[in-house]
Amino acid sequence: MQKKILKFKLNGELMELLVSPSDTLVDVVRDKLGLTGTKKGCGKGECGACTVIMNGQSVNSCIVPAMQAMDAEVETIEGIGTSDKMHPLQETFIDYGAIQCGFCTPGMIMSAKALLDGNLSPSRLQIKETIAGNICRCTGYVKIEQAVLAAADKLKASKDK
Amino acid sequence: MDVITPQNLQEALEELAKDPCAGVLAGGTDLLVKWKSNTINPPRVFTILGLQELNFIREEEGRLCIGPLVTHQDLAESAVVQRHAPLLAKACAQVGSLQIRNRGTIGGNLVTASPAGDTIPALVVLNASVVLQSAQGERQVPLREFITGPGKTVLQPGELLTAVSFPCMEATEVGFYRKLGQRQAMAISIVNLALKATLENAVIKDISIACGSVGPTVVELKRTANRLKGHSLDTSELRNIVVNAGDETNPISDIRASEEYRRQMVGELLYEGLQSLRRQSAG
């Protein structure tokens, strides 16, 4: 199959690379661009481990054909914070013990970030609906919910400053 | 699988006329899953997701017209849909997860024609029809006639579903939608049910009832609807009228639920729906 040029913005940086038309976004991000923070779980849009933010919305990158990311803005877990300067969600996930094995965490955080980007005062129900497509088999969802609420408070506080 | 990106609707229709067996890719929430599991393997697919001409919600002469590329999340959040067809907004909010609703489109949900499709019963009680367009022309088909079996529609090779429309709900009409699944997200419906009724002082003047996941295509409960007409929502008879509503359906037993359970739940969801209509008419 003839390869095609894909151009898109990944974590604010313009990317231009050759992909196979049948590649999915998760494969491009992980295997071609080496950003392995995004996890690949079920590979069929069921588990949410591969969640990234595309044009402001959370999507399952395992069922997004790479060619549909043309000219899009994509954010992955690598783009939102570093170990020196973490995103408030990354801090609160640690503070609240909202992580155990960590496999669902990048997807969970990206879903939560997509919510908080548009709403700094989410209700518990909104948080639950937001992460309903992200499966966690370790912690249960209570701590994750608490961490998202706490991150919202942090973000609000820093915005009000 | 090659992915080709037409630049506009005209180009998409011309390409499709030349290669009628090519797949059509919108949000990919069905096509990609089927492709990955080797259920389908089209050599070429046309991705139409970027075609803005097919992404609209418009009110036209008392009808709500929706482009096939509007996502379930956009429909669930649309103020226009919430005002003119709240049961459709409700149905769209029940689809998959947020990630799936952000990608999956209403046109895709109809063309996929799953017996468990969540938007289909809602659109059937709304009397929806779809526009099918090809390079040669276009035709309008009532949704009831569009889907003919599990995964089967009257869509011909070279045709694209380019709009779905239905009359806006009247002030005298009330609606209800309920999906029963094993959990609230990422669940395929065990039974889903939509209702639309015209009420006059809590008396049912007219009612349509449609359920999904209880037959090869959406089942309309016409006999039960006829029996309900003329009754007040306050009557104690309601329960007796709807208890055997499931007899009109033809469900199967599968991994999600047994045939008997599904039949029984049809009556239960219908009863719940009538109670909801009663509350809506009261307040």
Q: DSSP 3-state assignment of A7?
A: strand
Confidence band, pLDDT 50/70/90 cuts, at residue A88: very high
Of B1, B33, B47, the CB nearest to A45: B33
Point out which residues pair with B193 in neighbouring strands.
B178, B211
The domains found in chain A, sorted by start residue, are 4-79 (3.10.20.30), 88-160 (1.10.150.120)
Contact B97/A at CB under 8 A: yes
With CB atoms and an 8 Å threshold, state whether B98 touches A111. yes
**Segment (H or E) for B12:** helix B9-18
Chain A residues within 8 angstroms (CB to CB) of chain B: 1-2, 4, 21-22, 24, 43-46, 48, 51, 57-60, 63-65, 67-68, 70, 111, 129-130, 132-134
Interhelix angle A105-118/A88-95, rounded to 10 degrees, is: 130
How far B105 CA lies from chain A's nearest CA (Å)?
13
Q: For B156-185, what is each residue's pLDDT tens digit?
A: 999 999 999 999 999 999 999 999 998 888
Q: How far apart are CA B255 and CA B262, in angstroms?
A: 12
Point out which residues pair with A16 in neighbouring strands.
A7
**Quick one: closest CA in A to B187, which residue?**
A46
Global ipTM = 0.96
Q: Is the Cβ–Cβ distance between B26 and B12 less than 8 Å?
A: no
Given a cut of 80, whether residue A151 has pLDDT beyond it is: yes
The domains found in chain B, sorted by start residue, are 2-167 (3.30.465.10), 175-282 (3.30.390.50)
Q: Is the Cβ–Cβ distance between B251 and B263 less than 8 Å?
A: yes
pLDDT for A160: 82
Chain A neighbors of B36, CB-CB under 8 A:
43-44, 63
Of A43, A64, A133, the CB nearest to B98: A133
Q: Strands B57-60 and B44-47, how do they pair?
A: unpaired
Q: How far apart are CA B118 and CA B250, in angstroms?
A: 18
| Residue B54: both structure tokens together | 């097919």
Which of A5, A7, A22, A141 to mutate to probe the B interface, most B CBs <10 Å? A22
Indicate the DSSP class of residue B246: G
Given a cut of 80, whether residue B227 has pLDDT beyond it is: yes
Distance of CA A148 to the CA centre of its chain: 14
Q: How far apart are CA B74 and CA B235, in angstroms?
A: 38
Contact B41/A at CB under 8 A: no
Q: How far apart are CA B35 and CA B14, in angstroms?
A: 24
Q: DSSP 3-state assignment of A8?
A: strand
| Residue A117: both structure tokens together | 């980007």
How far B170 CA lies from chain A's nearest CA (Å)?
31
With CB atoms and an 8 Å threshold, state whether B103 touches A63. yes
For B193-219, the DSSP string reads EEEEEEEETTEEEEEEEEEESSSSS-E
Q: For B53-80, what is each residue's pLDDT tens digit?
A: 999 999 999 999 999 999 999 999 999 9
Q: For B241-281, what is each residue's pLDDT tens digit?
A: 999 999 999 999 999 999 999 999 999 999 999 999 999 98
* Residue A132: exposure state from Cβ atoms within 10 A (0-12, 13-18, ≥19): buried
Alpha helices in chain A (DSSP H): 25-27, 88-95, 105-118, 124-130, 142-160
